[in-house]
């Protein structure tokens, strides 16, 4: 048996991030949420989401009752860079392997993310996986229609300041940082 760890939502504008854990036999799936606050300044700049992702991975392994000698496959995504180091330190290099996650673990993690963003009132595009740019602008337009929804947006990315919707966020953060 193997436990596979995947993520969903890291590159999306809405919500936090889902970290999913899947064991093939007996087909168990659980997930943790990385709170959106880790994708906003100043936590985002400090990359605190890396520590939180590592914490989430260890919580999932505990909840899934990792067995002695059981391999851990973990997504290659950068969000797991610290988690992999921490896992190797605790369980050894031979038990931890970075992989391209496909199949059921990927599908279930993505479904969990989509369910969470639907809970916000957002209706995701059907082709979002094939067209990331279109999905980004769809989310951006959803936020523009009601700026009160900015509380659901990952605002830590510096490039967002080029969009008027996020300029007030960036300016108020800069003001607070100077004070």
Cβ contact 50:43 at 8 Å: no
Nearest 5 degrees, angle CA 96-CA 74-CA 109?
Answer: 150
Question: In 10 A of CB 127, how many CB atoms?
Answer: 9
Query: In the predicted model, is pLDDT for residue 111 greater than 60?
Result: yes
Query: In the predicted model, is pLDDT for residue 77 greater than 90?
Result: yes
- 3-178 — its CATH code? 3.30.420
pTM: 0.90
Query: In the predicted model, is pLDDT for residue 14 greater than 70?
Result: yes
Question: In 10 A of CB 52, how many CB atoms?
Answer: 24
| Domain ranges for the chain | 3-178
Give dist(CA 109, CA 131) in Å, integer: 19
- The first and second tokens of residue 11, run together, are 């590159």
pLDDT at position 128 is 73
Tell me the β-bridge partners of 33.
18
Query: In the predicted model, is pLDDT for residue 36 greater than 80?
Result: yes
Query: In the predicted model, is pLDDT for residue 105 greater than 70?
Result: yes
Cβ contact 16:36 at 8 Å: yes
């Amino acid at each position: 048996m193997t436990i596979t760890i995947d993520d969903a939502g890291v590159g999306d504008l809405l919500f936090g991030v889902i970290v999913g854990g899947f064991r093939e036999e007996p087909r168990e799936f659980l997930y943790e949420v990385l709170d959106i606050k880790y994708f906003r300044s100043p936590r985002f700049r400090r990359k605190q989401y890396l520590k939180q992702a590592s914490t989430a991975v260890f919580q999932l392994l505990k909840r899934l009752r990792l067995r002695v000698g059981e391999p851990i496959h973990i997504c290659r995504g950068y969000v797991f860079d610290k988690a992999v180091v921490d896992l190797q330190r605790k369980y050894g290099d031979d038990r931890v392997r970075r992989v391209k996650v496909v199949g059921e673990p990927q599908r279930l993690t993505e479904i969990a993310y989509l369910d969470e963003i639907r809970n916000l009132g957002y209706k995701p595009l059907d082709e979002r996986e094939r067209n990331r740019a279109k999905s980004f602008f769809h989310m951006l337009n959803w936020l523009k229609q009601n700026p009160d929804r900015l509380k659901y947006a990952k605002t830590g990315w510096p490039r967002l300041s080029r969009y008027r919707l996020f300029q007030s966020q960036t300016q108020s953060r800069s003001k607070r940082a100077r004070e």
